[in-house]
Structure 1
Amino acid sequence: MLVKKPERGKNLLIEHSDMRTRSLTGEDLGGRGFYTHDHADQTHGIDDLRAMVYARRERIKVWMDTATAQTLTKRFGYCFNQIGGSDYPSILEDNRINVPYGEITVTEQEAHSAPSPSGKFTGASTLGFRIGNVAYSSDISDLPEESESALRDLDVWVVDALRRTRTRRIFISKTLKMIEKVKPRRAILTNLHIDMDYETLTGELPENVCPAYDGMEFCESQQLTDICARIKSVALE
């Protein structure tokens, strides 16, 4: 998820998936990065960041918890530390999230709260991030009580709803129950499996909930009806 803050410094990007596709949008993707956990679909676009770093002439600062760092700094060690004898410089600056539910100071102008963990997946915790009144929770299977408190009074909650039927991962009926508990003004379902039909799902969801789609944009103050209308318009084109 790309958070645009053009009037207040660098953009923020949660997850580095396929950055080659994202770079075609022309958006500034190289500002600051955040990782929820170490899975490939969240992190294997890291190598694609090198061209952005060369263009900006500065390393990208990334934030993650210790468990994620232990994996990524080993898997992509050359991105965090230049290898001896190599002409390729490191491209990422590791910043650690050590305090659950604390604030991360990204720039002098603003701070961003990180409710951590936002959920658990196959025994491992994943981080959720709250930026202002917008929160992002991906690859979750449950929501700890502490996270519910950290997610109160949201304008928008972007939350995982992988499957229709019950699995180890999250499924739609459970996600909707979590939405009822957290009570965001709007909720956007993400990470949906390929067997979910957009129009069918849209017709089944409550008024304040809608499915996400690739390239979707929204503002904190934007009405949900406007978001859904834009999504429907794009889907029917």
Structure 2
Amino acid sequence: MMNNLFSIFDPSTNLFNLSLNWISTFIGLMFIPYSFWFIPNRHFMMWKFISSKLHKEFKMLLGNNKFNGSTFIFISLFFFILCNNFLGLFPYIFTSTSHLNISLSLSLTLWLSFMIYGWINNSQHMFIHMIPQGTPTILMPFMVLIESISNIIRPSTLAVRLTANMIAGHLLLTLLSNTGNNMSFYLLSILIIIQILLLMLESAVAIIQAYVISILSTLYSSEVN
């Protein structure tokens, strides 16, 4: 019996008082193709195709001031979030990205690293970025305040966006499935079709959210150079 509507997202599986739910974060490692151990197959070719496309896009977003290999940080972030989002759609697998513990840790770590690097190496550029070009002199203090607040809340917006989207879909699937106990066969068949459609939608959301988080992180990184 659930005490809370959101208690389905609470870690509950444990062994010797050690939580086993977060082990699902490492299940995504099973999907990484081991190109040096096996002959390249369709899985490896698809993985390489997606990686190359993401590399080209992130390279374009970072601009000319990028470091060599900097795009692989965001490619790894994309695959990490994608695997966790997608694995959470399977039964009895804990969705780690539906908790702020994971999403806020990722976004806050990236944001802090960008800010520390920017203020230490490009402090003048960071100050200039606070005031958009063409701002009247009387509005400059307000623009600095607004830009500072919008910059500070960036990691929380990234984390809440990912967590809310993951929770919303899983919660809808759970609520609909709980109503099937007292349904007739005709209504139950309609419910199953709706659940399948929602599951397809959640699969698309899992891919889109991983892409959005990695793209926004790349844009935040390009602003400090």
TM norm structure 1 = 0.22
Greater RCO between the two (CA within 8 Å, min separation 6)? 2
Query: Which structure has the highest strand share of the two?
Result: 1
TM norm structure 2 = 0.23
